[in-house]
Structure 1
Amino acid sequence: MVRWFHRDLSGLEAEALLKNRGVDGSFLARPSKKNVGDFSLSVRVGDGVTHIRREQHGILQDRGNHHPAQIPLNCSDPTSERWYHGHLSGPDAEKLLRERDEVGMFLVRESLSNPGNYVLSALTDEKNTKGKRVSHIKILYNNNGYTVGGKEVFDTLTEFVEFYKKTPIEEVTGTKVYLKQPYFSTRVNASEIDRRVKQLDQSIEPQSEEGGDKKIKAGFWEEFDALQKLDTKMKKSRAEGMRPENKSKNRYKNILPFDETRVILQCHDPNVVGADYINANYVKNKMYESSPPKVYIACQGCLATTVNDFWQMVWQEESRVIVMTTREVEKGRNKCVPYWPNPDETKEFGKYVVTPMSERDADDYKVRVMELALIDGSEMPREIWHFQYLSWPDHGVPEKPDKVLSFLTQVNSKQQEFPRAGPMVIHCSAGIGRTGTIVVIDMLIDTVDAKGVDCDIDIQKCIQMVREQRSGMVQTEAQYRFIYLAMLKYIESQKDIQQARMSTETEYGNLSLQPKHAKASRKVSNLSKPDIHYSYVRKFTPPRQFKSGRKGTLEEEEEKNEEDEDEEKDEEKEDEEEEDDDDDEHEEKGEDEEKDEEKEEEEDEEKEEDEEKGEDEEKDEDEEKGEDEEKDEEMDEEEEKDEEKEEEKEKEEDEEKDEDEEKDEEKDEEEEKEEDEEKDEEEEEEEEKEEEEEKEEDEEKDEDEEKDEEMDEEEEKDEDEEKDEEKEEDDEKEEDDEEDDADVNEQEEKEEEDEKDDDDEEEEEDDDDDDDNICVAGIKRTCTRIWERRGRKT
């Protein structure tokens, strides 16, 4: 199993993993859940994920466009033990174990032939044609645990190894394999470098051995010591540096450049032996090739006799950035001759003239800007940036890598400003210790930036690669450990940045954040309602008849009618504006619907094209198969079986596509539902607002009507009271009249009786005169009584 093979991962889980942790071009492989024995390759393309299935054995093919799988998305190691080497082939394992030549040395690696299983490789004392035999024992893995096929089953690889370190493994031939000394791996997943640093900080690690215990040094010292041993086996020519003519150009006699990678000076005198020599080498990152390739020049600090050669190298290589990691003098020892002029002077160095332009001091380094030109002025002058790091202690390393990482960021930023610039020149005193440390850190940072924090890095191998180009790079164990600490700090910062970025993204990488829908300016939607404007319909109120007791005049009523007409006109204008807004919204919705229909048509066309391509490819495959059938008749039955398998797989693919389309349709429906719900909510809010406004208007009208009714009732009450009073007065008059008439009659009867008694003897003429006088007197008395009563009431 390789690092990018995930044995317990489904298609949906692969998509989620690539979207959360991967970038464009990240890929992983996984076993097919539907077709046991087949595999699928999942690649992140932009914000989406493409799944490529294995159609035939030995062939990976996709029905459609080819997608580059550039960056593997590795799975977690089954153990963090250093004897686990992950993706390592059998021949490479044999090479590593034979180089150590220690019987009982072992390692554990992934099985490349049976993904999901592992292999234990151990060096035995038996010999064959290649030397000591390496035994490869397959470790089977299932849900129960790890086993070699016997009764013993272990939950983890660590338990497995610890058991067989005490108990030898017996092969089928009867040979016993002993596990004595682990061969530690220096490869580490960048995201797990913190655990590796903790393991390497352990100074001593006990190892069991037959017949007793053996303690060996481990950690950083063990890795660096192995690196030093490999360096002694390297045999490369350094003849040019050993020439008598060039010995004075070397600061240290034992630090010489390899001939195959040394910088050769041009424009020199061919009659002068060694005129093309300078103690400098080209260094390239062969573990990761960038575009354009990044090249360094690692060289020693200048001597008084090599300053002119140094500027010759800078000019011919078209370098624009120089990195100096030492002071001119440290603890009384000359480390490097100042090869730049003072700020207030211009200085000539052979064919070249250097003019200082600016100089500034930072916290831990100094930046100088200079102009380099030919004395004869035949070419345009060039701007040179000189970065001198001042905080690197002599015979040690900085306490924390933060400042060095910040310094490298500034250097690389300036280098990128010159896209056509030549190699970056880096030097200290000897040009291998601090220089090698800076170069290796910069290379590893470039690798992590390109492949992500889930990539594998191997610091020991990186240093070994650099040492193959310039001898002695990274001189001390402290520098070796400092590289680990610098990468630990850088990867932690990258994780923080990645987490911050993920917190601002959506859960699904293929769904961008949709802006909030703009709320409609209209008040009522008329999409499903008739064109009736209720604001035009008003309640009819007949004109009121003014009575004598009511306060108001006809003029006041006319003024109110005019105000009502003005309000009606204003309401008509508002309704017309609402209609215009509705029409505009209808037009906008129609345009959006047309755009959606066009998009759907384009998607359908693309699907049809993909289907046509698939059909064309199937036709081509059928034609090729037909030719093969004519040539090889014996393979007919096998080809028919393959075709049936392909048809089944195509059906499965079609089903998967249908499922994906259904998912997309469901997503679209959900989005449409959400939009409709939002629109409905907006319409409901607007309708509620209108209803509230109408209610307020109705309440105001009701209040006015109630006031009018109250006025009318008061007037009617007044009128009724007046009528009642008039009736009461009339009744009283009638009663008074009746009483008066009764009194008059009584008086008349009494007077008649008196007259009859007193004047029985008088004559008829005298009787008539007396009767007239009595009637007049009675009438006067009666009238006087009536008017007195009326006067009292009024």
Structure 2
Amino acid sequence: MEQTGAAIVKMDQEFEDRDSGGRWQKLFLEIRNQSHECSYKVAKYPENRNRNRYRDVNPFDHSRVKLENTENDYINASLVKLENTENDYINASLVEMEEAQRTYILTQGPLKNTCGHFWLMIWEQKTKAVVMLNRVIEKGSEKCAQYWPTAEEREMAFRDTGFLVALLSEDTKSYYTTRILELQNLNTGEKRQIYHFHYTTWPDFGVPESPASFLNFLFKVRESGALGVDHGPTVVHCSAGIGRSGTFSLVDTCLVLIDKRKDPSSVDIKSILLKMRKYRMGLIQTSDQLRFSYMAVFEGAKFIMGDSSVQNQWRELSKEDQEPSSGSPPSTQPQARCPPERCNGSQRGAQPDEGREYRQDGKVPAQSSCKEQELDGSTTQKRRREDSISKSSTNKATQSKSRLNDSERKRKRTKTSDC
């Protein structure tokens, strides 16, 4: 016990030293410079452009999730299983932390035209829980389509992929909402219950009000059992699937490892983040998010190492039973709706700055092979700029679906090696 106490004190001291020395930005830049970026050719194919919320946030080829039961199965997520589909893209990435026995699918907030694919991915990967860390509308910009039914409508059908989503229950706290959804495969009639954990007060590019509220939320997710090995990977998303989603996954993984090793000082947060960045680019977008991650890990370690009173303190400090503020519940404004039965049809979500050919670092084409990553700082600025552009251009968005010619259909998808 003395050893544990000493380790906690050491962690606190290291945190204070970084704070007093203003060294968080330096650490953040070190992580960015030591990160490596793998190829993401598939994300840049013309037929997949309207499936990416942001031009500069793409799943790596080696870790992207592949949809199995659709003619065009791309989604911005990472996990690879199938080989012979015509187009298997979705903007999502499988992050697999072997020692912690944790697997997450980190993905962007679904677009109007990818909601059906989002639910298809959840079905195929046998996911038990979705962790949503953003609101539908933030600062006037759409961050995510409304892909689940509200209390008023109760259910949504996605005929393009053959799923029906029904709302079974909804429990709203001051800063998060827990839903139980029923996902039905319309082709087979099979039904599954899915947890939907929705953190409603985490600002984009920012951090939660306190580690207490965040940790209370994280342990609510853990208590469901959905993060365990008995279920498929938990789907975690925010808007781009890298900042808030990266923070959630990093803190959870570090706390699992502290629990396994029984030695907080043996868990190198920086190394774990660098490993996670091999699966999805740019995880943790700002030095503030990095600082918050360390703070949450150190605070969570106190509970894991035997201080059971800490969890009650989190609950009290988070004030979860207070009435939500007027700005807390997720907005469901019409422009962010995912139209039932048309999610993957000809309609296309507004894409920021459509006409500009994007290059990741301004010099090297996005389709290049592994190279040092230079995403974070420039990406933050580009995403903010694109959000601004998107506000003015939403009503002008192209609503035509990309058509593949014969040569594009036959183009060989080259599998890249892991980095």
Give the TM-score normalised by the residue count of structure 1.
0.36
* Matching residue's letter, 1:280: A
* Matching residue's letter, 2:33: K
Following superposition of structure 1 onto structure 2, how do residues 378-527 of structure 1 map, counting pairs within 5 Å?
Answer: 378-416=188-226, 420-495=230-305, 497=307
Structure 1 Cα separation of the partners of residues 17 and 227 of structure 2: 40
Structure 1 Cα separation of the partners of residues 57 and 90 of structure 2: 12
Task: Tell me how far 1:450 sits from its aligned partner.
Answer: 1.2
Deviations 1:402-423 (A, max 9, x none): 0100001010111359763211
Task: Tell me how far 1:369 sits from its aligned partner.
Answer: 1.0
1:319–1:425 Cα contact (<8 Å) kept? yes
Secondary structure in 1 matching 2:30 = helix
Task: Tell me how far 1:335 sits from its aligned partner.
Answer: 0.5
Structure 2 Cα separation of the partners of residues 456 and 400 of structure 1: 25
1:305 to 113, 116, 121: 113
* Matching residue's letter, 2:13: R
2:262–2:305 Cα contact (<8 Å) kept? no
Answering whether residue 348 of structure 2 is matched by residue 348 of structure 1, we say: no
2:175 to 357, 361, 364: 364
Structure 1 residues 375 and 416, CA gap change in structure 2 (3 angstroms): closer
1:374 to 185, 188, 191: 185
Structure 1 residues 481 and 75, CA gap change in structure 2 (3 angstroms): closer
Structure 2 Cα separation of the partners of residues 74 and 496 of structure 1: 9
Structure 1 Cα separation of the partners of residues 103 and 306 of structure 2: 30
Structure 1 Cα separation of the partners of residues 195 and 242 of structure 2: 22
* Matching residue's letter, 2:175: D
1:201–1:220 Cα contact (<8 Å) kept? yes
Structure 1 residues 340 and 258, CA gap change in structure 2 (3 angstroms): same
Match of 2:366 in 1: none
Match of 2:24 in 1: 220
Match of 1:247 in 2: 49
Structure 2 Cα separation of the partners of residues 353 and 191 of structure 1: 51
Task: Tell me how far 1:461 sits from its aligned partner.
Answer: 1.1
Secondary structure in 2 matching 1:410 = helix
Deviations 1:158-199 (A, max 9, x none): xxxxxxxxxxxxxxxxxxxxxxxxxxxxxxx55521000111
Structure 1 residues 480 and 417, CA gap change in structure 2 (3 angstroms): closer
Answering whether residue 46 of structure 2 is matched by residue 195 of structure 1, we say: no
Looking at CA atoms only, which structure, 1 or 2, has the larger radius of gyration?
1
Structure 1 residues 499 and 410, CA gap change in structure 2 (3 angstroms): closer
Match of 1:335 in 2: 143
1:191–1:491 Cα contact (<8 Å) kept? no
Instruction: Between the two structures, name the one with larger relative contact order (CA 8 Å, sep ≥ 6).
Output: 2
Structure 1 residues 472 and 247, CA gap change in structure 2 (3 angstroms): same
Task: Tell me how far 1:499 sits from its aligned partner.
Answer: 10
Deviations 1:380-420 (A, max 9, x none): 20001101101112432123100100001010111359763
* Matching residue's letter, 1:236: C
Match of 1:583 in 2: none
Secondary structure in 2 matching 1:445 = helix
2:73–2:90 Cα contact (<8 Å) kept? no
Match of 2:334 in 1: none
1:357–1:369 Cα contact (<8 Å) kept? yes
CA RMSD of aligned residues (A): 2.5
1:74–1:455 Cα contact (<8 Å) kept? no
* Matching residue's letter, 1:431: G
Task: Tell me how far 1:484 sits from its aligned partner.
Answer: 1.2
Secondary structure in 2 matching 1:222 = helix
* Matching residue's letter, 1:260: H
Task: Tell me how far 1:430 sits from its aligned partner.
Answer: 0.2
Task: Tell me how far 1:283 sits from its aligned partner.
Answer: 0.4
Structure 2 Cα separation of the partners of residues 198 and 379 of structure 1: 56
* Matching residue's letter, 1:381: K
Deviations 1:294-323 (A, max 9, x none): 210000000011101101100000101000
Task: Tell me how far 1:275 sits from its aligned partner.
Answer: 3.3
**Unaligned residue ranges in structure 2 (runs of 5+):** 75-84, 311-419
2:303–2:309 Cα contact (<8 Å) kept? no
Match of 1:326 in 2: 134
2:205–2:285 Cα contact (<8 Å) kept? no
* Matching residue's letter, 2:45: R
Deviations 1:633-691 (A, max 9, x none): xxxxxxxxxxxxxxxxxxxxxxxxxxxxxxxxxxxxxxxxxxxxxxxxxxxxxxxxxxx
Structure 1 Cα separation of the partners of residues 154 and 260 of structure 2: 43
Structure 1 Cα separation of the partners of residues 114 and 256 of structure 2: 32
* Matching residue's letter, 2:191: P
2:37–2:281 Cα contact (<8 Å) kept? no
Structure 1 Cα separation of the partners of residues 8 and 58 of structure 2: 34
Task: Tell me how far 1:375 sits from its aligned partner.
Answer: 1.1
Match of 1:266 in 2: 68
* Matching residue's letter, 2:10: E
Match of 1:315 in 2: 123
Task: Tell me how far 1:487 sits from its aligned partner.
Answer: 1.6
**Matched residues, percent identical?**
32
Match of 1:737 in 2: none
Structure 1 residues 242 and 493, CA gap change in structure 2 (3 angstroms): same
Deviations 1:603-624 (A, max 9, x none): xxxxxxxxxxxxxxxxxxxxxx
Q: Kindly tell me the number of residue pairs found equivalent between the two proteins.
A: 297
* Matching residue's letter, 1:357: L
1:279 to 75, 81, 91: 91
Structure 1 Cα separation of the partners of residues 273 and 114 of structure 2: 28
Task: Tell me how far 1:75 sits from its aligned partner.
Answer: 12
Task: Tell me how far 1:424 sits from its aligned partner.
Answer: 0.5
Structure 2 Cα separation of the partners of residues 367 and 416 of structure 1: 13
Secondary structure in 2 matching 1:246 = helix
Structure 2 Cα separation of the partners of residues 346 and 495 of structure 1: 43
Secondary structure in 2 matching 1:489 = helix
* Matching residue's letter, 2:143: K
* Matching residue's letter, 2:201: S
Structure 1 residues 267 and 456, CA gap change in structure 2 (3 angstroms): same
Match of 2:40 in 1: 238
Secondary structure in 2 matching 1:245 = helix
1:296–1:425 Cα contact (<8 Å) kept? yes
Deviations 1:211-243 (A, max 9, x none): xxxxxxx52111111111123xx2411011010
Structure 1 residues 360 and 243, CA gap change in structure 2 (3 angstroms): same
Task: Tell me how far 1:492 sits from its aligned partner.
Answer: 3.0
Structure 1 Cα separation of the partners of residues 102 and 204 of structure 2: 29
Structure 2 Cα separation of the partners of residues 237 and 409 of structure 1: 35
Secondary structure in 2 matching 1:426 = strand
